[in-house]
Structure 1
Amino acid sequence: MSGLSLWRRAAAELVGTGLLVAVVVGSGIMAAHLSPDDIGLQLLENSTATAFGLAAIILVVGPVSGAHLNPVVSLADWWLGRRSGTGLPIRDVAAYIPAQVAGAIGGAVLANLMFDLAAVDLSATERDRPHLWLGEVVATAGLVLLVFALARSGRSAVAPAAVGGYIGAAYWFTSSTSFANPAVTVGRAFTDTFAGIAPASVPGFVIAQLAGLVVGLGLLALLYPRPAVAADEVVVPRLSDAG
């Protein structure tokens, strides 16, 4: 697979995922400050900032790493392209996922510090009910289907707007408010704010997200039988070293 050096792509995943969590957590803190007595308005503010922020981040880091920003997307890319050699090599997956997790934790710490909170303050918000896990399965399956359907149909150019819009909408139509990302889930455990999740609730969410990955891949196989041919353009096409 051609492209920029692996360390540069992993760095882009670290920075991009960090910025994403900083947006999610920071906008959640700001929303709680601005609308302390209206949870619905807090969610609207948080989801709007996340949708626009995610689209912008994809535009920034996409040409470098593909803007996966999510272990689920990286694993799906590897799985779909493993036979044809068009997806993410396992070596790259092994670099991307730790970078995404480290970036997510760093993003939560950054958001905490920007709002004059303790750098690390583990969340006390428990999210450990079956209906929340089901919400994560739905949110993650939809994200996987969206990303790879765009790639398979040659529409990766609209991914920033489409992915941002989907995550913004999924805040509202899923019971879990759509984490849909194991790295982001881990990162959000490091902030005891509006967007936090208790560390004890993280494993259940991650398992549900992996289940959503399987469901999403199944739906993709049903609707787009040959997804591997475009797996190298997920989430957006990357630049080569020459580019």
Structure 2
Amino acid sequence: MTLALPRRASAEFAGTALLVTAVVGSGIAATRLSPSDVGLQLLENAIATALALGALILIFGPVSGAHLNPMVSAVDWWLGRRAGTGLTGRDLVTYAVAQVGGAITGAVLAHLMFGLPAATWSRTVRGGSHLLLAEVVATAGLVVLVFALARSGRTAAAPAAVGAWIGAAYWFTSSTSFANPAVTVGRAVTDTFAGIAPASVPGFLAAQLAGGVLAVAALALWYPHAADTAGDVVVPHLTRETEAR
């Protein structure tokens, strides 16, 4: 029996909020510290995001699995729906709402910490088929990674591995690897280094969905029994029984 849904949802809300705070806040700091070097700004943003993501998985993973990403949650539900190992439909909706709400809250928090207006629509247009292809690759790779770790019993490596994938994908994808629908929405309300114009959001969401579908196909080929361990994604969750020990 898993922990109560409100408790898990609160972890997903807080974890996603802090993730976006790290993404947006480090982007703001980078532009202030290195105003004339975009490459250095991206490096600073990527390192801070990768390290923060690993730490957040360690904090919230035992409570909710630390999905922090509606696409991870959706694939978890899809793979585990017949085996009864992943999220239920109710869990999925609750997680997704918590993640999106957390992402927007995280952007607001970053703004307030740096003395900016609470929210401003981004004017950074991110369009083009090359960026959408990059989002497909970034999202598919992330989803395959977390389910492969669970299926092979290596979830202890998830904080480092997931952080490493996102940190690296900042550099080897042209989109800088959003790979997360909630984070994409949250980054639409910040007109800073990490922002994405609202008009660009639907394309990114569609590409991330395509990446999730591609990941499901890849898992069916490479890890055909991934559904058996869907409940361990991103890391195994606490249960009432283990909590009481």
What is the aligned partner in structure 2 of residue 224 from structure 1? 223
CA distance in 2, matches of 1:77, 1:10: 15
Q: CA deviation at 1:192?
A: 0.2
CA distance in 2, matches of 1:86, 1:218: 19
CA distance in 1, matches of 2:240, 2:224: 31
Give the SS at the match of 2:240: coil
Unaligned ranges ≥5, structure 2: none
What is the aligned partner in structure 2 of residue 27 from structure 1? 26
Q: Deviations over 1:194-225 (max 9, x none)?
A: 00000110000000000000111111111111
Give the SS at the match of 1:189: helix
User: Which runs of structure 2 are paired with 1:124-163 in the superposition (5 Å)?
Assistant: 124-163=123-162
Q: Deviations over 1:38-73 (max 9, x none)?
A: 000000000000000000000000000000000000
Give the SS at the match of 2:118: coil
CA distance in 2, matches of 1:219, 1:11: 31
**Aligned-residue RMSD, C-alpha:** 0.6
1:239 aligns with 2:238: yes
Amino acid at match of 1:78: W
User: Which runs of structure 2 are paired with 1:156-175 in the superposition (5 Å)?
Assistant: 156-175=155-174
Q: Deviations over 1:118-165 (max 9, x none)?
A: 101110000011110000000000001100000111111110110001
CA distance in 2, matches of 1:115, 1:196: 15
Amino acid at match of 1:43: L
Amino acid at match of 1:102: G
The aligned length equals 242
Amino acid at match of 1:3: T
CA distance in 2, matches of 1:79, 1:157: 23
1:96 aligns with 2:129: no
CA distance in 2, matches of 1:241, 1:97: 23
Give the SS at the match of 1:83: coil
CA distance in 1, matches of 2:139, 2:6: 27
Give the structure-1-normalised TM-score: 0.99
1:105 aligns with 2:109: no
Amino acid at match of 1:188: R
Amino acid at match of 1:60: I
CA distance in 2, matches of 1:111, 1:197: 15
Q: Deviations over 1:66-97 (max 9, x none)?
A: 00000000000001111110111111001000
Q: CA deviation at 1:3?
A: 1.2
Unaligned ranges ≥5, structure 1: none
CA distance in 1, matches of 2:143, 2:236: 17
